[in-house]
Chain A
Amino acid sequence: MIAAMARLWRIIAPIRTRLYLGLLVTIGASVVGLMIPQVLEVLVNNLNSSPTAATVWIAGGVVVALGLVEAVLLWLRRVFAIGPSTNTEREMRVRFYNWILDMPVAFHNDWGSGQLLSRAQQDVTQIRRWIAFGMIMMVSSAATVLVGIYMMSRSSILLAGIFLVVVPPIIWLTYRFQREFSILTRRSQDLNGEISTTVEQSVQGIRVLKAFGRSKQALEKFQITAGALRDNEVRKATTTARFDMFMMALPETVLGISLLVGLFQVNSGGMNVGQLASFFATATLVVGPTRMLGMLFGQAVNATTALERYFEVMDSENTIVSPDHPVAIDFANATGELVMEDVRFRFPDAAQDQPDMFQGVDLHIRPGETMALVGVTGNGKSTLLQLVPRIFDITGGRIIIDGVSVHDMDLDDLRRLTAFAFEDTTLFSSSVRDNVLLGVDPELPDAVQKEIAWEALHAADADFVVDLIHGIETRIGEEGFSLSGGQRQRIALARAIAARPSLLLLDDPLSALDTKTEERVIDQLKMVLDNTTTFIIAHRSSTVSLADRVALLDHGKITAVGTHQELLRSSPRYRYIMATNTAGSHEVNL
Chain B
Amino acid sequence: MSGPGRTRGSSTRYTQMTKEERRASLRLLGSLLKPYKWQLVGLSTIVVLAQLASVASPAIIAWGIDNGIPALLEGNATPAVAASVAHIAAALVGGGLMYVFIRWNMTIGQHMLFGLRKRLFLHSQRLDMKFHETYASGRTVARQTSDMDALANLLNSGLDIMVGSVLQMVFTMVLIVTMDVPSGVVMAGLLIPATMLTIWFQKRSSVIYRQIQTNSARLISHFVETVSGIRAVKSYRRQRANGERYEQLAEDHRQSSLRSIQLFGIYQPTLRWLSTITIAAVLTVGGFRVLGDELQVGVLVALVLYARRFFQPIDEIANFYNTFQSAVAALEKISGLMAEESSVTDPEDPVELADVQGEIVFDDVSFRYDDELPLALHPTSLHVPAGQTVAIVGSTGAGKSTIAKLMARFYDVTDGSITLDGVNLKDLDMETLTDHIVMVTQESYLFSGSVANNIALGNPEASREEIEAAAAIIGADTFIQRLPQ
Contact = CB atoms under 8 A, between A and B. Distances in A.
B103 A389 contact: no
A207 B131 CA distance: 12
A120 B67 CA distance: 61
Q: Which residue, of A121, A207, A464, A487, has the highest number of chain B Cβ atoms within 10 A?
A: A207
26 contacts: A40-B301, A47-B287, A48-B297, A60-B280, A60-B281, A60-B283, A67-B275, A79-B265, A83-B258, A89-B254, A101-B239, A120-B223, A195-B144, A202-B121, A209-B125, A213-B431, A222-B118, A234-B106, A238-B103, A245-B96, A245-B98, A248-B54, A252-B90, A253-B92, A429-B221, A480-B7
- Main secondary structure, interface of A, reads helix
Nearest to B68: A263
Contact of B125 (A121, A219, A391): A219
Q: Which residue, of B73, B83, B85, B243, has the highest number of chain A Cβ atoms within 10 A?
A: B243
A419 B228 contact: no
A210 interface: yes
Interface in A55-111: 55-57, 59-61, 63-64, 66-68, 70-72, 74-75, 78-79, 82-83, 86-87, 89-90, 93-94, 97-98, 100-102, 105, 108
Contacts, number: 426
A101 B242 CA distance: 9
A260 interface: yes
A117 B227 contact: yes
A469 B239 CA distance: 30
Nearest to B96: A245
A377 interface: yes
A255 B227 contact: no
Given A234-B110, A479-B8, 5 more contacts: A101-B230, A207-B445, A215-B122, A241-B98, A419-B236
B110 A233 contact: yes
A284 interface: yes
Contacts of B253: 90
B175 to A, nearest CB: 16
B225 A478 contact: yes
Contacts of B226: 97, 101, 428
Contacts of A419: 235-236
Given A40-B283, A213-B434, A203 B132 contact: yes
B38 interface: no
Contact of B237 (A64, A281, A416, A428): A416
Contact of B280 (A61, A113, A199): A61
A378 B478 CA distance: 10
Interface in B106-155: 106-107, 110-111, 113-114, 117-118, 121-122, 124-126, 129, 132, 137, 140-141, 144-145, 149, 152
Given A206-B125, A208-B445, A233-B106, A94 B283 contact: no
B383 interface: no
B399 to A, nearest CB: 12
Nearest to B401: A590
A389 to B, nearest CB: 5
A249 B94 contact: yes
B281 to A, nearest CB: 7
B46 to A, nearest CB: 12
Contacts of A98: 239, 243, 246
B98 A214 contact: no
B423 interface: no
B237 A87 contact: no
A94 B129 contact: no
Contacts of B2: 482
B interface, size bucket: 35 or more
Counting from the closest, the 4 A-B pairs by CB-CB distance are A213-B434, A67-B276, A249-B95, A237-B106
A396 interface: no
B156 to A, nearest CB: 7
A232 B102 CA distance: 15
A250 B98 CA distance: 13
A62 to B, nearest CB: 8
Contacts of B264: 78
B280 A237 contact: no
Contacts of B239: 98, 101-102
B257 interface: yes
Interface in B192-236: 216, 219-221, 223-236
A273 B69 contact: yes
Given A233-B152, A237-B107, A415 B88 contact: no
A83 B262 CA distance: 9
A266 interface: yes
Interface in B69-89: 69, 72-73, 77, 80-81, 83-88
Interface stretch (B368-376, B413-421, B436-444): B436-444
Contact of B227 (A100, A236, A495): A100
Contacts of A51: 290-291
